[in-house]
Amino acid sequence: MTDPQERAVLQADAADAEREAVLARHRVAPIGGVNLTVVLVGNRSSVRIVDIEPRVLTREPVSRGALLVSAGAGEAATIQVSADLDDRAPRFRMAEDPNVTYFRSKQIDLKRDERVTLSMTIEGDKAFYEFDLLTTVLADARAEQVVVKGPGGRPFRITGPAKTYRSSYHESPLGGWQPVPRKQVCADRPAAEGC
C-alpha cells in the first residue's frame, strides 16, 4: 500500500466502514483459505437444497502486495463441509470423509422458517480467487439457482501465500493495522523469501 492517505486509514482510528472500503479496493484476501458460516432458511412450505458449489469467478496469480496478519476467530456449526478451489471442479466434501462429495450423498430439506447452519472451509493455495456459492434449490417441483455472495454483494476472496510481500502489517489491539519491520515478517513467516 503506497498511498499515504490509505496507510493512515489502516493505521488510525478510522471508522470500520472506511477501513473496509480501503481493504475492498485492494481486494484483501485471507491466505490459504476462509471459514464461512451460511445459514439456510426455508421460505416456502418445502424446499430441498440439492447442491451448493463454490463457483470461481476470478483466478489470478497470488497476491503479493501487503501481508496483513490478523487474529482469527472460528465458529462451530451444524454441518461441516470443505472445498479446495485449486481442484479443477471444486465441490464441497464431507469434513469427516474428504473423499465423499457432500451433495452426492446428502441433500438438505427445509420447511418454512426451518434453519440449518453450514460451516464451510474453502481453501486455495495456488492462486488468488474470487468466488461465490452457487446453490441449486428444488421447490414446488422446480429447480432454481441462488447465488450466495460475500459481504456487500462482493465476491468472497482467498489467495495463496506469496514468497515475498511489498509490505507487512499486524492488526493492532487498539484498532487499525500497524506496519511491521522485515525481521517481524520473518518471525511470522519464516519460509518467506529473504528470511
Measured CA to CA, the distance from residue 17 to residue 151 in angstroms comes to 12
What is the predicted pLDDT for the residue at 56? 96
In the numeric block, which cell numbers belong to residue 8? 493512515
Place of cell 489470478: 60
In the numeric block, which cell numbers belong to residue 127? 492462486
Average pLDDT, the chain: 85
What is the predicted pLDDT for the residue at 95? 80
The answer to pTM > 0.85 is: no
What is the predicted pLDDT for the residue at 71? 57
pLDDT grade for 75, boundaries at 50, 70 and 90: very low
**Do the Cβ atoms of 137 and 50 come closer than 8 Å?**
yes
What is the predicted pLDDT for the residue at 87? 95
Measured CA to CA, the distance from residue 66 to residue 79 in angstroms comes to 34
What is the predicted pLDDT for the residue at 73? 47
Examine the pLDDT at 16 and tell me if it is beyond 90. no
What is the predicted pLDDT for the residue at 13? 66
Residues, the chain? 195
The four Cα atoms 17, 23, 27, 33 give a dihedral, to 10 degrees, of -100
pLDDT grade for 175, boundaries at 50, 70 and 90: confident
* 77-128 pLDDT, tens digit each: 478 899 999 999 999 999 888 889 999 888 999 888 888 899 999 999 999 9
CB burial class (10 A; 0-12, 13-18, 19+) of residue 124? Answer: buried
